[in-house]
Structure 1
């Protein structure tokens, strides 16, 4: 294609709004490469824990619109559509149902697709972030019509989506694939989940959960902590630890770090074994910042815990083979959203009601 032909192609704005990081950039139609990517810390509950859900919603939406506008300034032409991967359940019309890792428990629903469509005067597609990521992997091996797999994210929270024959298995309201809010710890002092309840899988198995567990263990066993790489990473102060440091400790197979994360990984392994046993899912793609940073030792530990829970349908030799690491980058939401936008056909035909399959369910 000539340079003139390339420059004439429509431009899309894409963003990935997670519990910790907001990423945004632009891409030309027909080119699954996102350019001009910018990354900023999300103005959510982690940075502003004292604000109400409504205040955080307004702050996060303003931040998202502002970053998308900044990205559009570097694009070769005005955008023809906007696509956003969002960390929370999203309904068919692009309304965010909930987002505990971003603005805490039980915030009001947010019609994000409508807001973005009004702000940019173009069609807007809003997807759940794990759903969006799935489109990257569904398209990666050329076998999506027959593929049957589950996306799993271990990051600020824990979530999943099951894909079969090129479609995601979810109802229209986007409620599903939220294993992070399954209660797995019924102790009275179980860790608090961002949604406001105790003992959820996301509270014990996410990056934030791993950090909490490492801090608790460090205070209970200060001698063992002092001998670990985690102590060296935070100058001996558990309060200065980060989830990424815990993940790095797991990657280096530090005994203390592995001990800290094992209870959460055990709960996640049991949950994935249940999905395999109930649905026959043949592949689990494990993505997310914490899982990516913890690397192969984390996947091996997860496979071991799946095998313990899987019974005869999931023998030890098979469990690890079901787990596939995500790509070694943080572009799943961006590339998956772009892929879904491309698959949806002409976005202009989607006004006023998007023709995209279920925004949170696609």
Structure 2
């Protein structure tokens, strides 16, 4: 499997995009200016953010035309304090305001539906580019200053030592110990942090630097590009004669407001003493911080990247080397260091400009090689996330990448222990893409979009997500037998979350075919208003059954069925002791031609006992759900009917009901290949007569959110306190995400 994708690096001044293949950048890098309050001070920040992500989406689509399929997997190196799930904690350096809580992933998925978005802070991304160095601290000196420590000896998810969200290392916003702000009035510091111009002017007169984040005398205030430019302006105004006579003064025509990074770089290149003093003032605190980190963690290498440091170039690094030499003490961790060790401490890469982009490509490729799955520990009623290495595709294997999966009632029953199955990995409803095919496998090819039939047609006890691992994992490995038995079912068109319903719909199709083979119904009673019950009602209407009644105990589910437009209120009845009488009244006392029982909780036999009077003479009773193994159904003239035997064989058995009327019992467990093909056709139909399957999908969740979501569904039947039908796992979502009313259902 080759890993195509796109990577984006959002910096304070420039945003860059490139395609990659297997983690290596390919083709041309696109560049555009990052919309910023610095360049558009009168523009609302929200509009600048929209402009940024509109711009990124446009360039992504442009690159995707050059590298087809790459836009499905996008890595974003983001120049702000941001977690691995894309939630901003502080973007002051980027947007001059924190923008706390802004969702980078959501901003892009709204514009690029179906894309999988991974986000890293740009410093963490750059660290991945230098992974060959082993253990090191990486410092970026650009619009801001930040650090990340990388350890190649740790598992991939822990190599960047910055906490689970990778938001650690933002030491640039830490006030320096014994800094100048300690002796100043607190009200002055608060005013300066709130951007009061008079307070900041007073700090300048005192020679105290400040940062956009609101801190006074933090590391960014000294060492970052904007910080050092402010220090240069401050020194120019405090020492006008020295400034006027300096190379920096000549570069700026004696105007401190004209000082920028380019002017500093040009002046520093002339070995100008005034400019060298400014560089020294900014790099000395950085040198101290690097030595502290190396001493704290036992590091021998410090990598420095960032547009400002490399833009000023050798004079800046000369200042940093001098500061390191002056501050170094041969004690503790540094006691036995040789001259060669000190020479090797500072690593100045010649490809720093591309590090965040290339590192993001390496990171996203590595993540594609990992396989996250949801596991139910044996004899426990909880789910956990587990990460393993990417499965290897053997000669007789097929490797699938899951796009969507459905959480159904059976999964929750297994989780609760109501069913004694222990599959390890739950789930049996999915939409997946074939990503690798073994050399001895025929019938599928890389790129095919498929669903799977979890039921082995040759062994009723062999079921995915029941006694074999299911589909709640990013990568699924199946043997060729699954293909040969027709359990890998091809889909057409683009990936669609509705297709998770193909598996239950195939089972419903089989049920209706069985009923029709005995007695094509003119009237039908569906008992149960979960996803399966509603599918029965929808298919019956699609097939022209004149009267479709729906019975359920819960007033909430009755209201839901009406609100979704699946049944009119006049045909939805309460399931209670008077239900049979209500059905008989609605059918002129004759009863319904057929009854489908699709309930949960193992109460199917009890429901049937109460509803026998609702079934017409010669009617069909189909046992679909809610019938536990070992239960029998009471009829006249016998010891009872073995429900499991009828359902397993999908047979028809004539009986005499306790009411004295003739009846035919049918039942089924799962669908066959023909049923799946019919279900695929029904799912892919469009137009006014199509089944509105999207109405049954009430929530989407990320894989990471599944353990908590399943626990809530099991406890209350709701998700985020709202009624749930089918909950779909969207594998493109990152972070802990639960969404109501997904885009395709609005």
Q: Under TM normalisation by the shorter chain, which class is it?
A: 0.7 to 0.9
Corresponding residue number in structure 2 for 1:186:
180
Aligned partners of 1:101, 1:353: CA distance in 2, in Å? 32
SS of residue matched to 1:33: strand
Separation in 2, partners of 1:316, 1:186? 35
Q: What residue is the counterpart of 1:65 in the other structure?
A: 57
Which residues of 2 match residues 329-348 of structure 1 at below 5 A? 330-345=353-368
- 1:134–1:302 Cα change, 3 Å: same
- Equivalent residue, structure 2, for 1:99: 91
1:288 equivalent to 2:306? Answer: yes
Matches within 5 A, 1:77-226: 77-120=69-112, 121-139=114-132, 147-166=134-153, 167-184=159-176, 185-187=179-181, 188=184, 189=203, 190-226=208-244
Max radius of gyration: which structure? 2
Structure 1 contact 135–340 (Cα < 8 Å) conserved: yes
Higher normalized helix content (fraction of residues): 1
- Deviation at residue 346 of structure 1 after TM alignment: 5.4
Q: Is the 8 A contact 1:46 1:102 kept in 2?
A: no
Residues 11 and 77 in structure 1, CA contact (< 8 A), matched pair in contact too = yes
Matched with 2:4 is 11
Q: Does the Cα contact within 8 Å between 2:54 and 2:111 map onto a contact in 1?
A: no
Gap change, CA 1:51 and 1:197, over 3 Å in 2: farther
Match of 1:322 in 2: 345
Report Cα offsets for 1:69-99 as digits up to 9, x if no partner. Answer: 3333443455231111001222232322221
TM value normalised by structure 2: 0.43
Q: Which structure dedicates a bigger proportion of its chain to strand?
A: 2
Question: Deviations for 1:225-271, whole angstroms, at most 9, x for unmatched residues?
Answer: 23333233223322122113213433443212111121111111111
Structure 1 residues 31, 343: closer, same or farther in 2, change over 3 A?
closer
- The CA distance in 1 between the partners of 2:116 and 2:233, in whole Å, is 45
**Aligned-partner Cα distance in 2 for 1:323–1:353:** 41
Higher relative contact order (CA 8 A, sep 6+): 1
Q: State the SS of the aligned residue for 1:107.
A: coil
* CA–CA separation in structure 2 for the residues paired with 1:153 and 1:204: 14
Instruction: Kindly report the root-mean-square deviation, in angstroms, between the aligned alpha carbons of the 2 structures.
Output: 2.8
Aligned length: 344
Which one of 269, 282, 285 corresponds to residue 267 of structure 1?
Answer: 285
Partner of 1:24: 17
Q: CA deviation at 1:200?
A: 1.5
**163-172 vs 319-328, which moves further:** 319-328
Worse-superposed segment, 193-202 or 180-189:
180-189
The structural deviation recorded for 1:311 is 2.2
1:95-146 CA-to-partner distances (Å, cap 9, x unmatched) read 222211112233231221233234321211111101001111114x5xxxxx
Moved more, 248-257 or 210-219: 248-257
Deviation of the 1:275 alpha carbon: 0.9
Paired residues of 1:248 and 1:293 also in contact (CA < 8 A): no
| 3-state SS in 1 of match to 2:328 | helix
Secondary structure at the counterpart of residue 168 of structure 1: coil
